[in-house]
Chain A
Amino acid sequence: MTSIQIIDVVGPVCVDPDDGAIVCRQTHSALERGQDVALDFSGVRTLTSSFLNSAVGCLFASYSRDTLTQRLQWTGLDETDERLVRLVLRNAARFYQATPDQQAAIMAASSRSLED
């Protein structure tokens, strides 16, 4: 198990998508080496979806939902941030499961439902 201390990598304010990409690269490398990964958010004061989309959402481009369920953990989050992480991951799973045509169809359908 590889433990990545988020605060050591990018500091306590986790907002910038570019910082998220740094975490993503480290996580991806560890997963590629066959290691499970634990992301430790202890000490993080500000955590946004913009950071998490880049940090963990991007992993769905390379790994299945089942694989990440088994091999990716996170610690050091309060209840609010825990739910935010789950929201980001759920959103990312939906995004990568859909083909480009399916994504366009989903967006068009949601536009029509907002009109109705």
Chain B
Amino acid sequence: MSRNRVAVASLHLNENHQGVARFFGPFAAYWNSVREISLDFSTCKFLNAEGAAILAAFIIHRREWGGRVRVDWNGISSEIRNQLGRWRLMELLEQRNFPWTGNAIPLLHQRRLDARAVVQYIETHVQAGANMPAMTPALVKEMNCSLCELFVNVFDHAESPCGGLAIGQYYPNTKRVQICVCDSGLGLARKVQREGHFAECDGSAIHWALEEGHSTKSDLPGGLGLFTLREFVKCNQGSLRILANKGCCVQQGESLRIESLPASFPGTLIQLGLLIRSDEVYTIQDEEDRF
């Protein structure tokens, strides 16, 4: 492997945080250096939405400082190439996209917050997606709110050169939607630690940010976006995984665990896994009847 070639590994649907770290590890040296690199997909047999989000953030981030990303098209399989096209990533690589998206939820990239575009993205590419079952109004509403809250966080907190992006995939067999939101900023753990919390453990710093009322902003009340998202995931029996810096926090149904990563992710990557269920009601549990 020559100095400027980066191997893109496979990243499977249920890959754990260690697998994700193995995926983005080879990119580490190139986020902010080496003007031209080439991606080698020859060993990549499957790519999930998280992998797509990392690739997209990597390419867009490098563009911000004039870096360029090429691909060795001879080594890429047609399946991976088409999937990149379905996700609308091919245009980032100056190639044509696949003519339709199928079960892919294509890239949404914003350099500044446009909440209406986020809502339209959910309506167009998730709710009305091919093979997507009918979603309850409650689920659509919560999905809109969740994605909007995540984008607000990117622009309020992340200091991300690439802005914020979302990308996803629908899995019809399991009726599960995976949506990933990614940025190339400071990283949620580092942001929390700058305020003096959990300097020794990135995973715990991420966990802190998920608690009710915890915010790094001291001038206004806040700290409810990630908390309400977490409550929604519990109700849905879905999953929420946040990778930032060298920490990882996973909410799976009702259970939460904190992990460390062997490699540092330069930003924040949030994977939201939701079940398309017809029976759920999403309501925050109230402590009191009135405020």
Interface residue ranges, A against B (CB under 8 Å): 11, 13, 15-17, 45-50, 53-54, 57-58, 60, 65, 69, 79-80, 83-84, 86-96, 100, 103, 107-108, 110-111, 114-115
**A111 contacts which of B148, B156, B198 (Cβ < 8 Å)?**
B198
Tell me whether A48 and B152 are in contact (CB under 8 A).
yes
Tell me whether B220 and A94 are in contact (CB under 8 A).
no
A100 CB contacts on chain B under 8 angstroms: 218
Q: Which residue of A lies closest to B211 (CB)?
A: A110
**Contact indicator per residue, chain B 111-151, by CB within 8 Å of chain A (1) or not (0):** 00101101100000000000000000010011011001100
Q: How far is the CA of A84 from the CA of B147 in the complex (A)?
A: 16
Q: How far is the CA of A108 from the CA of B288 in the complex (A)?
A: 25
Q: Which residue of A lies closest to B137 (CB)?
A: A78
Tell me whether A69 and B290 are in contact (CB under 8 A).
yes
B214 CB contacts on chain A under 8 angstroms: 107, 110
Interface residue ranges, B against A (CB under 8 Å): 113, 115-116, 118-119, 138, 141-142, 144-145, 148-149, 152, 156, 195-198, 204, 207-208, 211-214, 218, 220-225, 228, 282-284, 286-288, 290-291
- Apart from A15-B113, A83-B286, A96-B221, what are 4 other A-B pairs with CB-CB below 8 Å? A13-B116, A48-B149, A87-B228, A115-B204
Tell me whether B213 and A46 are in contact (CB under 8 A).
no
Known: A46-B115, A91-B224. A103 touches B211 (CB 8 A): no
B148 CB contacts on chain A under 8 angstroms: 13, 15, 46, 48, 50
Q: How far is the CA of A88 from the CA of B115 in the complex (A)?
A: 20
B220 CB contacts on chain A under 8 angstroms: 53-54, 57-58, 95
